[in-house]
Structure 1
C-alpha cells in the first residue's frame, strides 16, 4: 500500500522512521571506526544513561536492557572491559553487589563522535518554544514506549 502523502500524520511517522535509520547508520559508523559491535555501542549508551541518572547498573540489568542472556552479557562486558570502556566495581549501595561503570575515556570517545550531532540537535530545539518542546517530548516518549511495549505490532 502506497502512503497517502496528503496525510501529514503518516508523513511524520515516515520521517521519524527515516531519522531512526540515519541515527542507526551514524551509530554503526561509530562502532565500525572503533572496532565495536553495534551491541557494544548500545551497552555504552545504556551505561551512560544510567550514569547521567545516578543509577547503578548490574550485569544482569544491562543484559535485560539489551535483550542478552547471561553468557552474551559476560562476553559483551569482557570485550568492553578489555577495550577500557567499562569497569566492574563494587556497588556503593551494597558492597556485595558488582556494578558496571562506563569509563571517562569511553564517554570522551563517544562525545568526540556524537557531540556534533548532539550540539546540532540542541541548536534545533532552541528554535522551539517550551510548549512545542513539550509536544515533541511527549510524542517521542510515546513512540519509545510503544516500541518498548511491542505496541507497534499488529493485533492478532
Structure 2
C-alpha cells in the first residue's frame, strides 16, 4: 500500500463523532440481525422468510399490493426461489395468495394476521422501546435522525 493510501485509511479510521456513530450503527445492525436470527430459529423459519414477511408488511403499510415477482425482486431471488419461499410461508400459515378481482391472472401475496402477531410478540418490546426513545427527541432532532437513516439506506442500496 502506498504512503498516500495509508494516510487516507488512517484519516478515515481516526476516531471522531462521525466514526463513533458509524460504529454504533454497525453494532445496532449486528444486534438486530441476531434478534432476527433468533426469531427465525425459534419459529422454524429461514432469515429470508423473515425478510419476505417484513417486505410484505412494509408494502401493506404503504397501501401497495405486492406480487411474487416484486417480492422476489426485492429479495434478490429468482422465480423458482420466490415460488418455493411463498409456498413455505403459505404452508406455515404466514401468508396467503390473493387473486385480483378484475384480472384473475394477477396474484398478490398478503401477510396473515397470525404472522403479524407472531412478529409482534418477538419484536414488539424492541419497537416500543424505539418509539419511547424517539418521543424524547424534538422535531429538529427527529428530522436529523430521519435524514441520516434515509441517506444510509440510499448508500446501502
Q: How many aligned residue pairs are there?
A: 147
What does residue range 54-69 of structure 1 map to in structure 2 within 5 Å? 54-69=63-78
1:127 aligns with 2:153: no
Q: How far apart, CA to CA, are the structure 1 residues paired with 2:84 and 2:146?
A: 35
- Shift in Å, 1:90: 1.1
- Taking the aligned partners of 2:59 and 2:112, their CA distance within structure 1 comes to 13
Residues 116, 93 of structure 1: alpha-carbon distance in 2 compared, 3 angstrom cutoff: farther
Using the alignment, how far apart are the partners of 1:92 and 1:26 within structure 2?
A: 38
Which aligned segments of 4 or more residues in structure 1 are displaced greater than 4 angstroms?
A: none
Q: CA deviation at 1:73?
A: 0.3
C-alpha distance in structure 1 between counterparts of 2:103 and 2:131, whole Å: 37
The Cα shift of 1:91 comes to 2.6
What are the superposed Cα offsets for residues 58-79 of structure 1, whole Å, 9 maximum, x if unpaired?
Answer: 0000000000000110110010
2:18 is equivalent to residue 9 of structure 1:
yes
- Cα gap change, 1:93/1:111 in structure 2, threshold over 3 Å: closer, same or farther? farther
Gaps (5+ residues) in structure 2?
1-8
Spell out the pairing of 1:95-110 with structure 2 (5 A cutoff): 95-110=104-119
CA–CA distance in structure 1, aligned partners of residues 115 and 129 of structure 2: 21
> What TM-score results when the alignment is normalised by the length of structure 1?
0.90
Q: Decide whether the 8 Å contact of 1:58 with 1:99 is kept in 2.
A: yes
Shift of 1:147: 0.4
1:83 aligned partner: 92
Is the Cα–Cα contact under 8 Å of residues 56 and 91 in structure 1 kept in the other structure? no
